Amino acid sequence: MAKVSKTATPKQSNAPVSWLLRTNLVAGFLFLLSFALYLNTLGHDYALDDAIVITDNAFTTQGVRGIPGILTNDTFYGFFQDASKANLVAGGRYRPFSLIWFALEYQLWGANPFWGHLINALLYAFSVWLIYRLLLLLFSRSSDRNYAPFVALAASLLFAVHPLHTEVVANIKGRDEILALLGSVAALYFSFSAYRQKKYSFATALWVGVVFFMALLSKENAITFMAVVPLAFYFFGGADTGKLVRYALPFWGAGVLFVALRSAILGVSLLEVPMEMMNNPFVKVQGDVLVPFTFAEKSATIVYTLGKYLQLLFVPHPLTHDYYPRHIGIMSWGDPLVWISLLAGAAILLFAVWSLRSRAPWGFALWYYLITLSVVSNIVFPIGTNMSERLIYMPSLAWGILMATLIYPIAAKRTIPSLAAIGGVALIFAILTLVRNPAWKDNYALFTTDIRTAPNSAKLRNAVGGEIIAVTQSSELPEVQKNERYREAIGHLQRAIDIYPGFKNAWLLLGNAHSYLKQYDAALGYYDRALRLDAGYRDALNNKGITLINAGRALEAIDFFQQIKQQFPAYPNIDNNIAVAHREAGKYFGEKMGDLSNALYYLKTAYQLLPNDYETLRLLGVAYGIRGDSAEAVNWFTKAYELDPDNAGAIYNLGTAWYNAGETERGQALIDRARALDPSL
């Protein structure tokens, strides 16, 4: 076995710190601390992408029965249920393991976010515990008994409390990140432990491969451990090339198997990037069209975001879940921050290369950071966004290791003060984590909190506007206050359009807000803008037709929905929409025009299309009652009553019809019964 360089393992004379050597106690402390940091998320609701993977996912909500669909489709397919939309993000996504967890939870507890948050917190705490154990193992060859316990504790503690991890742990969807790192670390731990104990066997290799394969099935970025593992053996095991290959083989085999499986399920993608700003941040508006960034703009923006990641590792404030255009602007090489980022990145790479000869532990931290960051950097391939805090979760472990190894020369002489300094930083970070967690309570809290940090994000402006509309619509607020909230939403949505005029969902939501304000002409104009961007945009088509009805233009709505049916025969619920339009046309002719003949024509057509619609049946009863045809009035009111026998209004109408038909006793009994249920009648 090759000797490890002297620079790799400090040999300072230092009296052992007794409690630092009680590793089981320290490991338990780290587990409890990590779990306690996220106790204030257990009462949170679902938020952000939880809908995609849990609440609105057709496979997850089937529980165990949905697992075959999870295993055989793109991760997004269960949400969109449209193969053309599954690959909205370049390359697609195949992360079945985390979705299987969600399906099992749904099977056991239904749509109950408490369990999702609890499991996330426990898995995170277990991850920190295992990271501590792995670092003890990796750094254990030093003659200084304090070295491995100090580095393992300091690095694990800084990882545990880092506020950047709130997105991963506080958002249930972040389970994929937790499982990917947990599985990768576990596989390395099992492999290196067997190596140290000289008990490495075929069974060990097989187990390591299986554990790592589970990590890959959780999220694709685990594949970076195919390079991390041989480096770990090189830096900490002193392994020669032959042994590096031997111990890396289970990881490489699992990686190849995963790529083959992924390709079989999703196909081989050439990573064609969509020309759509919300899925490709490297496009810009030029005139009335989107064009790609120039090479200089794209490279400068990528370099800037890499520097932003470094800044957030050291100063994690302010935080936001959204870094979409234009929270990260179009950067240029004339910006000093871009050059600072470039120099910082170049320094990391140069020091990493320099460390290879000495096998200095801090060099492993640098290599680990560069390798795990590579797949989310937008350099290797596009990822659909500029950056995201969840994407730094796996690379952030390097920060803790680097800080711990660099501070140890001081800690070797002054261990307790050094631990106190680390503890001070950890305390600040823990407070920031606890303060950040409430933002993830639900979508409304998250969007309205983060818009203060990312006011130039078109996606977040759109999200805030949409959430305000949804919350307001379902609230019991007075109409005046509701209208104020709708106007607030319009302000956010207009800003989203200013940033990205091609944002069709923002145009749709503008239409919705104006429709709720009863500004129907404006609403129709916004729906038309959305439809210019996407002629088959279902929500815009549906809402335009409904707005025509609400505006008293039911005949136009009938023609509009019939045109949709001709263009899109498979359009969902189109016959229901046509029926409602006929019903409202009948109501218009009856109530506004006094034209019973046309009223009955449209109402009967609505009944043929939608025979179980209570309002249609009621209106038919009213029309025949006004016409003086008591028998027909009784007939239609009876149908309405049978559809909703506990409805006081239905009982009252039927009683009135019987009364007018000459069955006064029968009619009065029903009327009295209805008034007993609802005295206001």
| Cβ count within 10 A of residue 84 | 7
pLDDT for 2: 41
Are residues 561 and 577 in contact, defined by beta-carbon separation less than 8 angstroms? Answer: yes
Nearest CA-CA partner of 46 in 443, 508, 609? 443
Are residues 63 and 103 in contact, defined by beta-carbon separation less than 8 angstroms? Answer: yes
Q: Distance between CA atoms of 528 and 532, rounded to whole angstroms?
A: 6
Domains along the chain? 47-110 (no CATH), 612-681 (1.25.40.10)
338: tokens are: 């871009």
pLDDT for 82: 67
CA 541 to chain centre: 27
| Cβ count within 10 A of residue 676 | 11
283 forms bridges with which residues in the sheet?
292
Torsion on CA atoms 664, 667, 672, 674, rounded to nearest 10? -160
pLDDT for 288: 82
| Cβ count within 10 A of residue 252 | 16
Mean pLDDT of residues grouped by 10 in the chain (681 residues)?
Answer: 43 62 94 98 96 94 96 90 60 89 97 97 98 96 83 97 98 97 98 92 95 97 96 88 89 96 82 82 90 96 97 97 95 97 97 94 97 94 91 98 94 84 96 98 97 96 97 94 97 97 97 97 97 93 95 95 88 89 94 92 95 95 93 94 93 93 92 90 80
Q: Distance between CA atoms of 159 and 397, rounded to whole angstroms?
A: 6
266 contact partners, CB below 8 Å, separation of at least 6? 74, 87, 91, 92, 94
pLDDT for 14: 55
CA 546 to chain centre: 30
pLDDT for 274: 81
310 contact partners, CB below 8 Å, separation of at least 6? 341, 344
Backbone phi, psi, residue 54, to 5°: -130, -80
374: tokens are: 């590579």
14: tokens are: 């230092």
pLDDT for 12: 46
Torsion on CA atoms 537, 538, 542, 543, rounded to nearest 10? -50
| Inter-axis angle of helices 361-374 and 225-237, nearest 10 | 180
Count of alpha carbons within 13 angstroms of residue 534, beta-carbon side: 15
Are residues 300 and 338 in contact, defined by beta-carbon separation less than 8 angstroms? Answer: yes
414 contact partners, CB below 8 Å, separation of at least 6? none
- Identify the burial level of 94 via C-beta atoms within 10 angstroms of its C-beta, where 0-12 means exposed, 13-18 middle and 19 or more buried: buried
pLDDT for 3: 43
CA 548 to chain centre: 34
238 contact partners, CB below 8 Å, separation of at least 6? 1, 2, 3, 4, 359
pTM (predicted TM-score): 0.90
Q: Is the dihedral of CA 172, 104, 214, 255 positive or negative?
A: negative
pLDDT for 8: 47
Q: Distance between CA atoms of 551 and 515, rounded to whole angstroms?
A: 9
Which amino acid belongs to residue 679? Answer: P
